[in-house]
């Protein structure tokens, strides 16, 4: 199993996040705290603003947005967060191993290339792609591409990890296995996971938020007992699903009521 970074985890505080388009405000004065070394999960209906908020935290802001991000160690977040988008974003002309090492290549980290390559191979083996190191993305299935993107995110080894539906293209069994891998390798990280899957949030999360409304807001958080990774039959998971589904149903009703 690839080694994990031992750097201290950091708390991240998001204050007064705002984005709008003309007369339409997606969210305004939105606050969120990501506990150090914990998994924060966010659910909500499609289009409510989860991905947009994730992108703003990652520094992918636009002219019509505003956000204040502060870290518990009083250092900037820039350069210390890994971001995994919904799309795999693999470069079609590069083989899998080079796609996974792309961040290091762009940063010119050639002195560590041998060590990084060894770790990249270990991660690709852990996600079941050891036989595809030299394949270009066109030869991979959608699920395999998503696994390569996960390996690339893990290789970055940042203290903060922002993940947008990272397991959405996977079959149920592979999804569970990669949840287990991510929980193990990100156990010391500050993670924000956007997902549409209540069970996934309940298995991986320390705290869960539901985003709803127009403008969007974050409902009171759900604090989960015990520690991830929880088994699918864990009472916390089984009992929490009903509560989460009820909250999501209410969020959908709010969205429909607020639709133009």
> Which tokens in the block code for residue 123?
């991660």
Which region holds residue 78: left if phi is over 0, alpha if psi is between -120 and 50, else beta? beta
**Distance, C-alpha 139 to centroid of its chain:** 25
pLDDT exceeds 60 at position 253: no
**Distance in angstroms (rounded) separating the CA atoms of residues 138 and 132:** 11
CB atoms inside a 10 Å sphere around CB 158:
19
Q: What is the pLDDT of residues 53-75, one digit of tens each?
A: 999 999 887 667 888 999 999 99
pLDDT exceeds 70 at position 258: no
pLDDT exceeds 90 at position 12: yes
Question: b/e for 7-45, b at 16 or more Cβ within 10 A?
Answer: eebbbbebeebbbeeeeebbbeebebebebbbbbbbbbb
**Distance in angstroms (rounded) separating the CA atoms of residues 56 and 19:** 9
Q: What is the pLDDT of residues 102-113, one digit of tens each?
A: 888 888 775 556
Q: What is the pLDDT of residues 180-209, one digit of tens each?
A: 888 988 988 999 999 989 999 999 999 999
Give Cβ neighbours of residue 252 (< 8 Å, ≥ 6 apart): 45
The helix (H) or strand (E) run that includes residue 243 is helix 235-258
Whole-structure pTM value: 0.88
Q: What is the pLDDT of residues 118-158, one digit of tens each?
A: 999 999 999 999 999 999 999 998 889 989 999 999 999 99
Give Cβ neighbours of residue 45 (< 8 Å, ≥ 6 apart): 212, 248, 251, 252, 255
**Structure-model confidence comparison of residues 140 and 4, the more confident one:** 140
DSSP state of 88: -
Give, in order, the Cα–Cα distances in Å from 222 to each of 42, 43, 116, 248: 10, 11, 38, 13
């Amino acid at each position: 199993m690839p080694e994990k970074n031992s750097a201290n985890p950091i708390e991240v505080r998001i204050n007064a996040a705002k984005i709008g388009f003309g007369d339409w405000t997606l969210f305004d004065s939105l606050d969120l705290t990501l506990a150090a070394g914990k998994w924060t999960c966010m659910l909500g209906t499609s289009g409510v603003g989860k991905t947009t908020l994730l992108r703003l935290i990652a520094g992918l802001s636009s002219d019509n947005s505003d956000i204040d991000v502060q870290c518990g160690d009083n250092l900037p977040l820039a350069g210390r967060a890994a971001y995994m988008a919904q799309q795999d974003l693999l470069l079609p002309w590069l083989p899998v191993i080079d796609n996974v090492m792309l961040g290091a290549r762009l940063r010119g980290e050639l002195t560590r290339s041998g060590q990084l390559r060894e770790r990249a191979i270990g991660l690709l083996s852990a996600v079941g792609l050891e036989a595809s190191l030299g394949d270009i993305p066109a030869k991979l299935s959608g699920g395999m591409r998503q696994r390569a993107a996960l390996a690339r995110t893990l290789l970055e080894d940042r203290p903060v990890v922002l993940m947008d539906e990272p397991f959405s293209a996977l079959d149920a069994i592979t999804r569970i296995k990669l949840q287990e891998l991510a929980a193990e390798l990100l156990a010391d990280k500050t993670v924000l996971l956007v997902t549409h899957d209540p069970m996934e949030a309940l298995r991986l999360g320390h705290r869960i938020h539901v985003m709803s409304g127009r403008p969007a807001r974050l409902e009171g958080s759900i604090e989960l007992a015990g520690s991830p990774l929880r088994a699918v039959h864990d009472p916390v998971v089984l009992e929490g699903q009903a509560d989460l589904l009820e909250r999501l149903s209410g969020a959908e009703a709010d969205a429909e009521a607020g639709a133009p």
